[in-house]
């Protein structure tokens, strides 16, 4: 095992990880900062795949209070309100930083102001964007700046375990695998940022790339940390449905298509959204996904089993101009987005749940910080489109500042618990040399059980079936072997590790979903369809104790606004009495 020592270790190179690296370097350039990433820096992760844009209150008539209320109401009163306030207030600063300091070019209006397009579930058009390829613009500029500063990189290194100190009271570092050689590497650090991203690829239809496997959440559970809101998995309503033969199935057709006025049609060619919500296609993602699923369940489907997205009534030339990337993506799969119909299906997109963390990105484990999709609490029961990349960049920057300050004031290197390292190595090496098992069959069964039993519509019966099947799959995986002769770029081995993480997190999702006996946002229980009393809202917590998942609940703290209240008057002004 090789050992590396660094002041700050950042796991992940999406918006959160790269912003953290830049802010930490700016705050304390003398510190040694290392970014570790499962793939190649700037070429992997979910931020790069963002199409739609970045929510921020900039225009006359909008305000951070209005953005905040949209976020709280969209999250069904479950968001941590101080985290949500940090999101909407710092987003204003962060988007200026992206433009003026990092060099991002976003679309503009004729008068030179930033163009902000409509996204569903919001009361104001506030989504800043670069056409429909916003994520590529952001990640390219961030990666350029990281490279220019000489920040150390550990590319093609996957994190497999958070290692506590010998006394168990702090974090010592992270055990990793150098995927290029198969060698284990222990990176000792004074501070670690968990920013690996979510990636709900345990569902039949999903948007992230296959290398995303919720590793950060799985590591956090094994390290004894508490995760919240794990039942809240967002399905984007319009994933491309091009058949089982292509990985393009499940990839996102962005929210702006519906925001611009796109229509959803069932298999009979009829619009249906207004039967489910008066906002029609511009309802929040949870409602639109559920409505599409209901049409599918009742047999009103397109040839591949989904529904249709129609944009032609907005003018084909206009659609080609506004959504160039989407038009090209659909054309690659034989669909004419500008002039015809495109088959779509709800697709697993984002984890609202994750590690409990504070506004400064600290966690309950000293030395461990968290940001981005690995964290829970910012979005509650439903994330507004455009709030995801804002979340990553806002809290990534905060995490970088916090880690730089913490390391200089009190951070120190802790001797690792060698027994934990050895146990983690043995766990990771356990499949090597055992009789080979059909890993694709395990993955396909996982896809089906999570989609059918723990997906858009749930019940106690379906969730118990999911529990049973997931336990069987875990046991089956533990018996499964992979070739162990050459560990360099051993993709079968890493697929085994991916499945292990996905099964761990899937079990947490199902356990939390069983515990929540009401319906909020992305979590819909057919046996408990009521939302419950908003004034006594709670969030679920899950942790791993002696090998078993434990579920508890905690009350939501309404620190800024309570259900039935608003930070806005009818005139749009902030209420002064009764709120902080």
Strands (E), 534-579: 538-545, 548-555
Let me know: does 523 contact 381? Beta carbons within 8 Å: yes
Residue 432 structure tokens: 């090597």
How far is it, in rounded angstroms, from Cα 258 to Cα 326?
13
User: Residue length, the chain?
Assistant: 580
521-548 burial code (b ≥16 CB/10 A, e <16): bbbbbeebeeeeeeeebbbbbbbbeeee
Query: With 0-12 CB in 10 A as exposed, 13-18 as middle and 19+ as buried, what is 105?
Result: exposed
CA dist 182 to 417, 429, 487, Å? 22, 10, 5
Cα separation of 431 and 93, whole Å?
Answer: 48
Verify whether residue 258 is a known catalytic residue.
yes
Catalytic residue among 258, 349, 414, 525: 258
120, 281 Cβ separation under 8 angstroms: yes
Please report which residue ranges of 480-529 form alpha helices under DSSP H: 491-515
236 tagged catalytic: yes
Q: Which residue is catalytic, options 236, 282, 349, 520?
A: 236
Residue 450 makes CB contacts below 8 A (sequence gap 6+) with: 202, 203, 204, 466, 506, 509
Q: Which among 356, 29, 21, 39 has a CA at the least distance from the CA of 193?
A: 21
CA distance 289 to 457: 10
Contact indicator for 472, 183 with CB cutoff of 8 Å: no
Helix (H, G, I), strand (E, B) or coil at 282: helix
Rg for the chain (alpha carbons), in Å?
23
Q: Do the Cβ atoms of 5 and 188 come closer than 8 Å?
A: yes
- Rounded to an integer, what distance in angstroms lies between the CA atom of residue 269 and that of residue 553? 44
Contact 56, 49 (CB under 8 A): no
Residues involved in catalysis = 236, 258
């Amino acid at each position: 095992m090789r050992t590396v020592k660094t002041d700050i270790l950042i796991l992940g190179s999406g918006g959160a990880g790269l912003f953290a690296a830049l802010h930490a370097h700016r705050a304390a350039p003398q510190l040694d900062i290392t970014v570790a990433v499962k793939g190649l820096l700037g070429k992997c992760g979910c931020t790069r795949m963002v199409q739609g844009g970045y929510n921020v209150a900039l225009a006359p008539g909008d305000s951070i209070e209005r953005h905040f209320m949209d976020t709280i109401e969209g999250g069904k009163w479950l968001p941590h309100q101080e985290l949500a306030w940090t999101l909407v207030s710092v987003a204003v600063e962060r988007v200026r930083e992206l433009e003026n300091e990092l060099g991002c070019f976003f679309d503009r209006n004729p008068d030179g102001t930033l163009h902000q397009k409509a996204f569903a579930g919001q009361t104001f058009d506030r989504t800043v964007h670069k056409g429909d390829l916003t994520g590529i613009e952001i990640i390219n500029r961030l990666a350029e700046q990281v490279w220019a500063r000489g920040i150390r990189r550990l590319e093609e290194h996957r994190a497999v375990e958070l290692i506590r100190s010998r006394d168990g009271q702090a974090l010592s570092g992270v055990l990793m695998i150098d995927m290029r050689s198969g060698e284990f590497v222990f990176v000792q650090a004074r501070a670690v940022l968990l920013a690996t991203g979510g990636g709900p690829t345990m569902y039949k239809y999903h948007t992230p790339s296959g290398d995303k496997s919720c590793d950060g959440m799985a590591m956090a559970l094994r390290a004894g940390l508490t995760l919240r809101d794990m039942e809240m998995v967002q399905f984007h309503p319009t994933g491309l449905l091009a058949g089982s033969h292509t990985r393009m199935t499940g990839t996102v057709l962005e929210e702006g298509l519906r925001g611009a006025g796109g229509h959803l049609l069932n298999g009979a060619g009829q619009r249906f959204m207004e039967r489910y919500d008066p906002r029609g296609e511009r309802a929040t993602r949870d409602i639109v996904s559920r409505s599409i699923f209901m049409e599918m369940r009742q047999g009103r489907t397109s040839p591949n089993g989904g529904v249709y997205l129609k944009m032609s009534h907005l003018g084909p030339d206009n659609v080609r101009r506004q959504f160039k990337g989407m038009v090209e993506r659909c054309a690659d799969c034989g669909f004419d987005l500008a002039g015809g119909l495109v088959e779509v299906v709800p697709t697993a997109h984002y984890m609202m749940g994750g590690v409990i963390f504070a506004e400064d990105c600290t966690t309950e484990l000293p030395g461990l910080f968290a940001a981005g999709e690995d964290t829970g609490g910012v979005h509650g029961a439903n994330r507004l489109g455009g709030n995801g990349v804002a979340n990553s960049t806002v809290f990534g920057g905060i995490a970088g500042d916090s880690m730089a300050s913490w390391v200089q004031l009190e951070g120190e290197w802790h001797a690792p618990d060698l027994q934990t390292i050895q146990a983690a190595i043995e766990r990771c090496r356990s499949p090597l040399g055992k009789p080979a098992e059909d890993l694709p069959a395990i993955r396909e069964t996982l896809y089906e059980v999570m989609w059918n039993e723990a997906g858009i519509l749930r019940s106690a019966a379906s969730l118990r079936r999911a529990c049973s099947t997931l336990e069987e799959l875990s046991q089956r995986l533990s018996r499964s072997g992979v070739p162990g002769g050459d560990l360099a770029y051993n993709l079968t081995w890493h697929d085994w590790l991916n499945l292990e993480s996905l099964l761990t997190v899937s079990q947490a999702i199902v356990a939390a979903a069983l515990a929540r006996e009401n319906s909020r946002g992305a979590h819909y229980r057919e046996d408990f369809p009521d939302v419950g009393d908003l004034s006594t809202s709670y969030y679920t917590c899950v942790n791993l104790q002696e090998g078993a998942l434990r579920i508890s609940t905690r009350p939501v703290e309404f620190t800024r606004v309570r259900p039935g209240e608003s930070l806005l008057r009818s005139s749009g002004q902030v209420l002064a009495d009764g709120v902080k």
